[in-house]
Structure 1
Amino acid sequence: MTSLKKKSLTGLIWDFVGKLGLQGVGFFVSIILARILLPEDFGLLAIITVFINLANVFLDFGFSTALVQRSKVTEEHYASVFFMNVIMGFFLGGLVFLAAPFVANFYEKEVLTDLIKVMSLSFVINSFGNVTRAYLRRAMNFKLMSITSLISAFISGFIAVFMAYNGFGIWSLVTQILISEILNNTLIYFLSKFRFKLVFSITAVKELWGFSSKIFLTGILDTIFINLDSLIIGKILNPVTLGYYYRSKSLENFSFRYTATTLSNILLPSLSSIKNEPIFYKTTVLKLFKLISFISFLACGLLLVGAHEIIVLLFSAKWEPSVVLFQIIIFGAFAPQIFNLFYNILLSKGLSGLYLKINIFNKVLFFANFGFLFYANLNSYLIGFVCAQILVFITGLIIISNKINFKNQLYFISIKNIAIYLISLAIVLTLKSCFYLQILLLDLIIFTTTFLGVFLAFYFLFMKNDFILIINEIKELLNIKKKNA
């Protein structure tokens, strides 16, 4: 194994472990906080987060990514970006501070004024650490970033829980974010030992701007797209409803958030390395499609069947209105997981232009779907959202089938998977409505196990060869893991 390959693999493992650990800690803390705080508190946090995320895009202008991407970086590049970040940090912090009363008036929630003013400190705090994080990413030192993130998450989470128990409400959530950012940036600064001369060069900035400007523009579009739903729901409906929506999305993110990221990190270089071997490439893509489809449909079914019990057991009965929202979201969550494979196929083949067109089509569909929030209700919006996800998945399926000449193979596999998924859900949900025991933990075990049995039985009956292939692939992965342990 070459030094670069070993370094890349180590970095990938630490990146995944760090993200998984951070998500685990965050999820555990969120369970405790959700049982103490009110849905409205999380709705208010979602509103604050929207404006912070939108302003954060302007903090860095894509320069950190440009530092990582550029083949040769000097101290002038690091120092110049540092100065740009700090200046923008203070500017954005001041701007958000002054805008706080207007946001509060817009949502008719006076408490938002003080909350947003305090959260404006976030820009100043993060502006001092962006360059160091870029340096560590460039050096593929994900180990240090993972460790500092986990320490920060533990300490800030403990403080947030303590404050929530003592009646600080929404302020416990705001404090958690700020404490985590302060600790993370401080630890990274001292532990990285990365230092540079404090100089500023407009030439260095211009050299980075060509690449960073594209990242910046993409970041604006993605951030608006990701946060627009919370912005609209908070205004048209209310913070309580937004809190229920926020909880549903958070649970879905916890279930699938790092699947796509990890797969992208592994699939893109793997597929790119065999793109000139058409037969092997096609066979590999087919195996991956079968494996990812199987896991995605099975996971979605288990979560949908156990949604009520999972939410009430974890977060308490006050979050019960989130159940239907979560079930709608999770029903179509298989689509983006499988589409992520299509995304990597297109990039590995150098078809970034085609991916961009699909992405634009994707954004147009989702923006059009916001009409349901204005003229219908949240459930209608989520149903439209799921339909849009599935339509984008079908579009990707057609394009990939044509580009790699799969003929009808992917169509038949998808139709069988969807049929098994829907029939299994229909059977188990019917059984659940007839034989529900109202003992949460027991119901969760019985009906998720029943779905697992029904789903696997149908798979074995109607997709036997694929089922055996998937089992063998999973066994092979487990054997590799044991050998590396």
Structure 2
Amino acid sequence: MTEQSLKDKTAKGLFWGGLSNGMQQLLNLIFGIALARILDAEDYGMIGMLSIFSLIASTLQESGFTAALANKKNISHEDYNAVFWFSLFTSGLLYILLFFLSPYIAEFYHTPALIPLARYTFLGFFIASLGIAHNAYLFRNLKVKQKAFIQLTGLILSNITGVTLALCGMAYWGIATQGLVYVTSNTILFWRYSGWKPTLHISFKPLKSMINFSCKILITNIFSNINNNMLTVILGRFYSQEEVGYFNQANKWTSMGYSTILGTINGIAQPVLRNVSEDTERQCRVFRKMLRFTAFISFPALFGLSLIAPELITITITDKWNESAIIMQILCIGSAFLPIQNLYSNLVISKGKSDIFMWNTIFLGIIQIATALLCYPYGIRTMIFAYISINISWLFVWHYFIWKEIHLTLWDALKDVVPFGVIAVSCMGAAYFLTRSIDNLYLILTAKIAIAAGLYIIIMQLSKSATFKEVINYLSKKK
């Protein structure tokens, strides 16, 4: 693929990925406000307690084959077919297992009502297994536009369902049904837009060529899901359902911010980096450009979300969720670095080094889990702060492996990232101090956004940021 062709595909992928994820988070915001006004913290706490089990099951059924299919040089129908049937059989066995384990899950949390809820919620990962191979096909072929339509359609249908059921008094059952509608609609549309269909000639032989790579991705993803959801498990075990609900609400709002960026980058990072993996110098240039773009949008977006969290939470879902706002501010600061860490891991995967990805994630997870267990007696805020501090510090470990793969020095990486972080922090700090005397919640929210965004754009222009200029030029052409 030529330099210009790769550049065009990357730009289009980023545009459609950004548009899709931006629209998704806007829909999540609108419907999330409606649900949070209807439901209580306990309802979110019930669903939150089960999330780690669904995620681990989903990871097992996928088994890292999406990344393996994207990373494979030559691919055939048999490869996709093998992944389809493997995912289906695995998910069926996992659902049966979790169905009978539901009473023990409920006993662990001291909440008997979780038994029927778990059996109902876990249907989601079984339905999703029907679309894993189709999703991999769209991902490998950079069908970002099609995936954008699919995900937006699923969000609209599922959120309408969730709000309707909440208004009918279904409480946490409404949230569970919302999730099922989302995966069902996505799966149906994956089949429609991928154009690929499975056949009854079942053979798992093609998996042999992918298993060495995919099993390491699988183990990594399991640890990632455990790591990302361990706080909810610890909270559910040692704190009340209400406190779990506060954390889940804060985490949900924070994820709206970083998921937009992660989704945009994930849609193109691995396939693009894989295309240039045999030319280290070129891959380094492409990676640094992605790194600057990620820092350019991640720092102002997440630091800005932390800045306006108190006003945003109170205005949108009322002051009954004020405790969530404080937790959200801490989470946003840590989440600003997640897209950068994610980009690092994508490069490692594109080089075929799934073992590095695996062990790095495992060690990080073990340290974070141990820290959370040690800190829980000191309160939720202390535990979360320690948790994200370790995550940020681990970026230096990730960079060591990036340096070994593409010879990118720490100094060059810091030059790419730090200026955007410093400018974003300065803009947020200025907005905070300039609005301290304002009492009206709506006015202070508007003023914080206007001042922070205005200052960031002005500084980008005055500093003649190449990344800022490229973004503006591309958006102007699209317009």
Measure, in 2, the Cα distance between the counterparts of 1:441 and 1:247.
21
**Shift of residue 339 of structure 1?**
4.8
**Shift of residue 216 of structure 1?**
1.7
Contact 1:233 1:373 in 2 (8 A): no
- Unaligned 5+ runs, structure 2: none
TM-score, normalised by the number of residues in structure 2: 0.82
TM-score, normalised by the number of residues in structure 1: 0.81
Measure, in 2, the Cα distance between the counterparts of 1:352 and 1:78.
20
What is the identity, as a one-letter code, of the residue corresponding to 1:185?
Answer: T
Superposed CA offset, 1:10-60 (max 9, x none)? 555444433333333233222211111111111111112211111222223
Match runs of 1:218-233 below 5 Å: 218-233=220-235
* Match 1:262 to one of 261, 264, 281: 264
Match runs of 1:305-384 below 5 Å: 305-339=307-341, 359=361, 362-384=364-386
Percent identity for Structure 1 against Structure 2? 24
**Shift of residue 85 of structure 1?**
2.2
**Shift of residue 196 of structure 1?**
3.6
What does residue 29 of structure 2 align with? 27
**Shift of residue 238 of structure 1?**
2.0
For the residue of structure 2 that corresponds to 1:245, the secondary structure is helix
What is the identity, as a one-letter code, of the residue corresponding to 1:26?
Answer: N
2:237 paired with 1:235: yes
What does residue 111 of structure 1 align with? 113
What does residue 463 of structure 1 align with? none
* Match 1:480 to one of 471, 474, 477: 474
Contact 2:291 2:416 in 1 (8 A): no
- The verdict on how the C-alpha distance between 1:108 and 1:153 changes in structure 2, with shifts beyond 3 A counting, is same
Superposed CA offset, 1:323-344 (max 9, x none)? 1111122234443345556667
What is the identity, as a one-letter code, of the residue corresponding to 2:469?
Answer: K
What does residue 394 of structure 2 align with? 392
Measure, in 1, the Cα distance between the counterparts of 2:146 and 2:295.
34
Match runs of 1:152-171 below 5 Å: 152-171=154-173
Match runs of 1:67-106 below 5 Å: 67-106=69-108
For the residue of structure 2 that corresponds to 1:250, the secondary structure is helix
Q: CA RMSD in A?
A: 4.0
What does residue 123 of structure 1 align with? 125
**Shift of residue 262 of structure 1?**
3.1
Measure, in 1, the Cα distance between the counterparts of 2:402 and 2:123.
46
The more displaced of 444-453 and 36-45 is: 444-453
The more displaced of 118-127 and 306-315 is: 118-127
2:444 paired with 1:443: yes
Measure, in 2, the Cα distance between the counterparts of 1:343 and 1:257.
16
What is the identity, as a one-letter code, of the residue corresponding to 2:463?
Answer: L
For the residue of structure 1 that corresponds to 2:33, the secondary structure is helix
**Shift of residue 256 of structure 1?**
1.9
**Shift of residue 378 of structure 1?**
0.5
Measure, in 1, the Cα distance between the counterparts of 2:353 and 2:47.
39
Measure, in 1, the Cα distance between the counterparts of 2:139 and 2:292.
33
Contact 1:301 1:451 in 2 (8 A): no
Contact 1:342 1:396 in 2 (8 A): yes
- Unaligned 5+ runs, structure 1: 461-465
**Shift of residue 120 of structure 1?**
2.6
What is the identity, as a one-letter code, of the residue corresponding to 2:238?
Answer: I
Measure, in 2, the Cα distance between the counterparts of 1:244 and 1:442.
26
What is the identity, as a one-letter code, of the residue corresponding to 2:211?
Answer: W
**Shift of residue 188 of structure 1?**
3.0
- The verdict on how the C-alpha distance between 1:12 and 1:295 changes in structure 2, with shifts beyond 3 A counting, is closer
Contact 1:297 1:417 in 2 (8 A): yes
What does residue 153 of structure 2 align with? 151
**Shift of residue 212 of structure 1?**
2.3
- The verdict on how the C-alpha distance between 1:117 and 1:335 changes in structure 2, with shifts beyond 3 A counting, is closer
- The verdict on how the C-alpha distance between 1:343 and 1:74 changes in structure 2, with shifts beyond 3 A counting, is closer
Measure, in 1, the Cα distance between the counterparts of 2:207 and 2:464.
50
Measure, in 1, the Cα distance between the counterparts of 2:355 and 2:119.
42
- The verdict on how the C-alpha distance between 1:125 and 1:432 changes in structure 2, with shifts beyond 3 A counting, is same
